[in-house]
């Protein structure tokens, strides 16, 4: 069965700092990978996804993620965070089962 691990439970950054949130998954087959974001009081929404092709995926709001197959990783990055990026971020994987989510990483951006 597939599983997803997000290593950081809570990350606190100052505005303009760079962000990298880790995501590792366990599944040996072909996977689809997703990052979802949940802003306070709002729905989960898709940030970006990887199905195939270029392993460096660009999403909305300046986010990107890199699929490294050999490391079973799909880390989320943003060069310069803003206060409005404060949210909960979920990595998700779909292999041979419906979407499986990581536990989420809470990002707090302070001025």
Q: Which of 51, 80, 83, 96 binds other proteins (CB under 8 A)?
A: 51
Helix, strand or coil, per DSSP, at residue 105 = strand
Should residue 102 be labelled a site residue for other proteins when binding is judged by CB under 8 A? Answer: yes
Shortest Cβ 43–other proteins spacing (Å): 5
Q: Which of 11, 22, 49, 66 binds other proteins (CB under 8 A)?
A: 49
Angle (nearest 5°) at CA 19 between 106 and 76: 80
Which H or E run contains 26? strand 24-26
Residues forming contacts to other proteins in the complex (CB under 8 A) are 4, 9, 32, 34, 36, 42-46, 49, 51, 90, 94, 98-104
């Amino acid at each position: 069965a597939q599983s997803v691990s997000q290593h950081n439970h809570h990350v606190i950054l100052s505005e303009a700092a760079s962000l990298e949130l880790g995501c590792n998954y366990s599944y040996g087959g072909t996977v689809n990978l997703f990052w979802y974001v949940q802003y306070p009081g709002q729905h989960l929404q898709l940030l970006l996804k990887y199905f195939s092709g270029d392993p460096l995926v660009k999403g909305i709001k300046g986010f990107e993620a890199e699929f490294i197959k050999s490391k079973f990783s799909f880390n989320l990055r943003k060069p310069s965070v803003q206060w409005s990026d404060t949210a909960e971020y979920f990595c998700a994987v779909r292999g041979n089962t419906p979407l499986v989510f990581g536990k989420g990483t809470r990002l707090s951006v302070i001025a």
